[in-house]
Amino acid sequence: MTRIKGLYVTNTKKPGKPIRWYLYAWRGGPLIMKQEGGTRPNIGPKEVELYHQAIAARTAAAEHTMARLVQDFRKSKEWKKFSEQTKRMWGIWLERIDAKWGKTPISVWSDPRMVTKVVGWRDSYGDTPRAADYGVGVLRRMLEFARLNGRVKVNVAAGIPQLYEGGNRADIIWTPDDIAAFEAVASQQVIDGMRLACLTGLRRADLVSLTWGEVGDLAIVKKAAKKSRGKQRTAVIPLHDRLRALLDELRTRERKEGVDTVLVNGFGQAWSDDGFGQRFNGARDKANIVHDDDRKKHLHDCRGTFATELILAKFTDSEAADVLAWAPERVANIRKVYVDRERVVVALADRLNRAAVNQTVNQVEVRNEK
């Protein structure tokens, strides 16, 4: 087998499907080979040639072009701080940006008129609005890197509105009826994940990677995989009675030797992030669980469910944020959009009820006087 220094090899595993191998010219670099099934793939002459072509293209980019900016961003300290999953996803969009504007002089990006070009590029992905917004986000982050390093005067991707209208999900939670409908169609292993999400507020990546070593006597302490407001936060989730009962139940699940994750799939192995997401979404769609405006409810919305419970339990925004590994501003928004609104409605109903009682009492007193 040919060995190439720096070649990045990774794979994905999904329940019931063969393993998929991906070979990149370097970590975060272009894909040069994809293989389904089998063991670590052998690298042949074709892959060697593609590797050398990628290296040549990488080093040949003119100093003052967008292609060079893409390369420099991949080498930056900021890029090194990203998780492997983020590098993989952002790498896809950097390749698209390079293909679209790689030969463009960087100086052009200081012209405010480039805003319309970025908007046009965003709109070309209009059929997938969330993906379009994601791409603009990657471009915006890279141009901010360029601005801070004096390579552009303005960030023309800043302030561009999102296409996706379902981005604010603070008022979406999973209700008891939703949970019952989901449990009626989902497998036990997927139900386990949904219940754990509602009782901990963990994101999907943190949920499937949670290990028993992170479950203490008093709390779950989990370093969040995703940054919140630019900071990598640590979730500290108190072990309340319902959570303790669920964890005791999860300890009884059959698992392969050496598997230390709290959640396991039907094979007794740790879930992959995508694997659990696909199974969860399949059950949700089968149960037709949607919000009032017909938006599908996500696993992520279980975090809102847990957040409302914390707020109703009189946690402050800061305390709830520590538990959820969120920024306090996010908790405050949920309090404003959901919890406080509900409290206002209840208070108004109480006032109407008291007014009705008082009116009845007054009518009785008038009749008695007569």
> Average of pLDDT values for 29-50?
84
List of residues 6+ apart from 182 with CB closer than 8 A:
174, 191, 194, 283, 284, 287, 289
Lowest mean pLDDT among 2-16, 239-253, 345-359: 345-359
- Could you read off the pLDDT of 285-322 as tens digits, one per residue? 999 998 876 778 888 888 878 887 788 778 888 887 77
* Residue bearing tokens 């272009």: 30
26 or 218, greater pLDDT? 218
Q: Residue 163, by phi and psi: left (phi above 0), alpha (psi -120 to 50) or beta?
A: alpha
pLDDT, residue 15, reads 84
Bigger pLDDT: 354 vs 192: 192
Whole-number pLDDT of residue 327: 72
Q: How confident is the model at residue 357 (pLDDT cuts 50, 70, 90)?
A: low
Choice between 342 and 316, residue whose per-residue pLDDT is larger: 316
Within a 10 A sphere around the Cβ of 106, how many other Cβ atoms?
A: 19
How far apart CA 318 and CA 232 sit, in angstroms, is 16
Is-contact 222 313, C-beta < 8 A?
no
| Structural contact between residues 156 and 143, judged by C-beta atoms closer than 8 angstroms | yes
- For the domain made up of 176-332, give the CATH fold: hpI Integrase; Chain A (1.10.443)
Report d(CA 250, CA 343) in Å as an integer: 35
Residue predicted with more confidence, 97 or 360: 97
Instruction: Break the chain into its structural domains and give their ranges.
Output: 1-60, 62-165, 176-332
- pLDDT at residue 338 above 70? no
Two tokens at 277? Answer: 């997401």
Domain 62-165, CATH class in plain words:
mainly alpha
User: Which range among 4-13, 123-132, 137-146, 350-359 shows the weakest confidence by mean pLDDT?
Assistant: 350-359
Residue 194 is given by DSSP the state: H
Residue 350 has what pLDDT? Answer: 57
Strand partners for 222: 235
Contact 118, 111 (CB under 8 A): no
The two tokens of residue 26 are: 């370097």
CA nearest to 280, candidates 302, 307, 295: 302
Q: What are the distances in angstroms from CA 39 to CA 11, 42, 43, 138, 328?
A: 10, 9, 12, 33, 46
- For residue 192, pLDDT over 70 is answered with yes
Looking at residue 132, its amino acid is A
